[in-house]
């Protein structure tokens, strides 16, 4: 059997809010409650399982490979909501996107400051 990622837990201060944020920005179906998780399903059978944590949350990075048309739609949602965005993970190029490897990419933060990224080409692929 091939090895593939099935799910990952995303720690959050408010799992329902964070899962709704992710589903809305990425254009996914509404999150589904499973036990104490709020689950956002992605197209490749991987789920993001949002769970509450009381301790300070360590920021994580989640990158999503998307199509060119999806980039336009998602980037429009980011701008319409007035979220900050950057061309780089160090947040040194605010208000810009990158064009690495002949694609487009942008970084933005979720409500718990997890750094999210959408890219249209995998790094090293162009």
The CATH number that applies at residue 69 is 3.10.180.10
The answer to whether residue 41 sits within a structural domain is yes
The answer to whether residue 16 sits within a structural domain is yes
pLDDT of residue 10: 98
Range of 66's domain? 7-119
The answer to whether residue 108 sits within a structural domain is yes
Encoded tokens for 91: 């947040």
The three-state secondary structure class of 69 is helix
The answer to whether residue 124 sits within a structural domain is no
In this prediction the pTM is: 0.94
The answer to whether residue 83 sits within a structural domain is yes
Angle at 104 between CA 99 and CA 107, to 5 degrees: 100
Distance CA 75, CA 97 (A): 9
Q: Would you give the distance in Å from CA 70 to the centre of its chain? A: 13
pLDDT digits (tens, 9 = 90+) for 18-53: 999 999 999 999 999 999 999 999 999 999 999 999
For the chain, what is the domain count?
Answer: 1
């Amino acid at each position: 059997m091939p090895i593939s990622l099935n799910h990952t837990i995303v720690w959050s201060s408010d799992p329902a809010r964070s899962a709704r944020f992710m589903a809305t920005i990425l254009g996914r179906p509404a999150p589904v409650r499973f036990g104490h998780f709020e689950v956002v399903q992605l197209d490749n059978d991987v789920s993001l399982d949002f769970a509450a944590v009381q301790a300070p949350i360590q920021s994580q990075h989640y990158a999503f490979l998307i199509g060119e048309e999806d980039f336009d739609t998602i980037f429009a949602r980011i701008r319409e909501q007035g979220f900050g965005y950057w061309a780089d993970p160090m947040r040194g190029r605010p208000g810009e996107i990158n064009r690495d490897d002949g694609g487009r990419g942008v970084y933005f933060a979720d409500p718990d400051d997890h750094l999210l990224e959408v890219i249209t080409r995998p790094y090293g692929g162009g």
